[in-house]
Amino acid sequence: MPDQLSPEQKPNQEAGRILREFNLVPIPQGEILKILDLNVEVIPESLKASVQKSEWFSADSGSVLVELRNRAKLYQEPQGLLYVSDFDDTLFAATQWHNEEFRRLATDPSLQGRGINIPEDVGKRLYGKSKFTLPGTNAQRYHPKVNLILASIYAKAIERGEPQEQAEEKTDNAFNKIKDDLIMEGKISLENYDIDEDILRCLLGNHTNEYVYPAFARYFSEGTEEKGIRTIVSRGTIEDAFGQVYKLHTSGILEQGLGTDIVLYTTDLKAEYLPILYQLLPDSSGNGTRVFDDNPDEIDEYISWAKEHKLSNWEVIRVVHAETKRVNYLGSNNPDTTWGNQTPRFELYSASDDAPKTDLPKI
């Protein structure tokens, strides 16, 4: 593969079908923290250092960022399977992490010392309002900065002595304006709103490394073949405190075991950006691809995408943890086989007749 990562090369071809070609635009090291809105005092220096260890690229007008952790893997021969894992609720217990956020806001001594009480049901409701679909995208996503702003507006109203009902009405009205501004002006509009320092400090204390699923993370980082390529494809708000980059880089997962080689961060459907991996790793089509995800809807998207493009050596494994919000959800595809218990349970889906079906995870 050429050293150039914004390739002017032949179209990306899999089994005779042309995949979308992306122009990967390098992001200078001195700019990445600013682009990610992480160049602020409250963000741990260890997180900033971890981000700056990688090479970064943007694609599709910034709707996807590519983090290259290990360039040498692009040239390694021979390469094994391409392993692709989701992050939230697959490698990382996002549901439990958010539940702890609600508990912390409800019991934080600094907030209570100011006369501020944010009940868990209110915290959960504000979080729910912060999940919405922006025009031009196909999937709902969580906006952590919007959540911080809404919680701050609620807290200030309570601190002024306003009743809970009135404080909630204030956040509802504010949300409508915030969303309209975000649509019209983009994320820069969020700079017009204050974030309560006690709320930010309280939530920064909810350390992500305590919520990595140990068994599956150990399999993904250490149980996969050494010559394989380990990638994470994560959907959600990329930047800001509590965005996807923050979560991955504070969780420790990127350095665990054999390490993660590439991360794709997208704000929309993940399957649409998989061609970037084949663009960087053209041998992967012949070696085989194994995708892990918890979400039946995403699994359906992956299977449909792989079949549409007639890809070979392709399979998807659903990772089902007992306490996740989608544990009882069903997709439109039926698994070929199921094994394990719910810590986790696995479901295998073949997206091609020649799917690898070897060395399946046993935890």
Q: Got the DSSP string for 254-306?
A: GGSTT---EEEEESS-SGGGTHHHHHH-TTHHHH-EEEEES-HHHHHHHHHHH
- The whole-number pLDDT of residue 244 equals 97
Question: Which range is least confidently modeled, 134-143, 183-192, 240-249, 252-261?
Answer: 134-143
Pairing, β 314-320 against β 289-293:
parallel
Q: Which two tokens stand for residue 352?
A: 């091609």
Residue with tokens 């991996």: 277
Q: What is the mean pLDDT of residues 33-60?
A: 93
Residue count (the chain): 363
Question: Are the beta carbons of 68 and 262 closer than 8 angstroms?
Answer: yes
Q: Which two tokens stand for residue 272?
A: 């649409």
How far, in Å, CA of 259 to CA of 82, rounded?
Answer: 14
Q: Is pLDDT of 41 > 60?
A: yes
Q: Which of 88, 140, 130, 103 is nearest to 269 (CA)?
A: 140
Q: What is the mean pLDDT of residues 66-94?
A: 94
Kindly state the percentage of the chain with pLDDT values over 90: 73
- The whole-number pLDDT of residue 13 equals 52
Q: Is pLDDT of 3 > 50?
A: no
Is the CATH number of domain 20-93+212-350 1.10.3470?
Answer: no
What is the maximum span of the chain, computed from C-alpha positions, in angstroms? Answer: 67
- The whole-number pLDDT of residue 10 equals 39
Q: Is pLDDT of 268 > 90?
A: no
CA distances for 61 relative to 22, 58, 311, angstroms: 10, 7, 26
Q: What is the pTM assigned to this prediction? A: 0.92
Q: Which two tokens stand for residue 267?
A: 């704000």
Q: What is the mean pLDDT of residues 85-94?
A: 96
The rounded mean pLDDT for the chain is 90
- The whole-number pLDDT of residue 18 equals 65
pLDDT digit string (tens) for 290-330? Answer: 999 999 999 999 999 999 988 888 999 999 998 888 888 88
The amino acid sitting at 228 is: G
Q: Is pLDDT of 251 > 60?
A: yes
Q: How many CB atoms lie within 10 A of CB 274?
A: 26
Question: Are the beta carbons of 242 and 208 closer than 8 angstroms?
Answer: no
How far, in Å, CA of 13 to CA of 313, rounded?
Answer: 14
β partners of residue 265 = 65, 234
Kindly state the percentage of the chain with pLDDT values over 70: 94
Question: Are the beta carbons of 86 and 344 closer than 8 angstroms?
Answer: no
The answer for 288, left when phi > 0, alpha when psi is -120 to 50, beta otherwise, is: left
The CATH 3.40.50 portion of the chain extends over 20-93+212-350
